[in-house]
Amino acid sequence: MSTFTSIALAVVLSAQQPAAPAYKRDVPDSLAAKAKISEDSARAIALRRVPGGTIQELELEREGGRLFYSWDIKVAGKPGITEVHVSAITGRILAVEHEGH
């Protein structure tokens, strides 16, 4: 195989693999299988609630009988983190809390 062919093949293969998120992610497969709202949809909902924010961490959790995505979002220039809980079943925002100063 020529060097050019090897490079071209590597580029094609790397383009086909999904990029890992740039944030810490804790999404157990057992809970993800029960979610009706995709992680991508829930992320978009959370980011609409915190404009200009960057996701720092995601957890998919079950508490009090509710299955939800918990997004930690940081806004540059503002202290602390905003935590947004998005239902993994309905896509509704369940809670928004600002943590830290």
Q: At 87, give phi and psi (nearest 5°).
A: -60, 130
Q: Is the pLDDT of residue 62 over 80?
A: yes
What does the pLDDT read at residue 16?
53
Higher pLDDT, 25 or 100: 25
Q: Is the pLDDT of residue 100 over 70?
A: yes
Q: Are 63 and 90 in contact (CB under 8 A)?
A: no
Please tell me the distance from the alpha carbon of residue 22 to that of residue 19, in angstroms, as a whole number: 9
Q: Is the pLDDT of residue 92 over 70?
A: yes
Among 67, 65, 61, 59, which residue's Cα sits nearest to residue 21?
A: 59
CATH numbers and ranges of domains, the chain: 22-99 (3.10.450.40)
Please tell me the distance from the alpha carbon of residue 75 to that of residue 51, in angstroms, as a whole number: 8
- What is the pTM for the complete model shown? 0.79
Q: Is the pLDDT of residue 4 over 80?
A: no
What does the pLDDT read at residue 65?
94
What does the pLDDT read at residue 5?
47
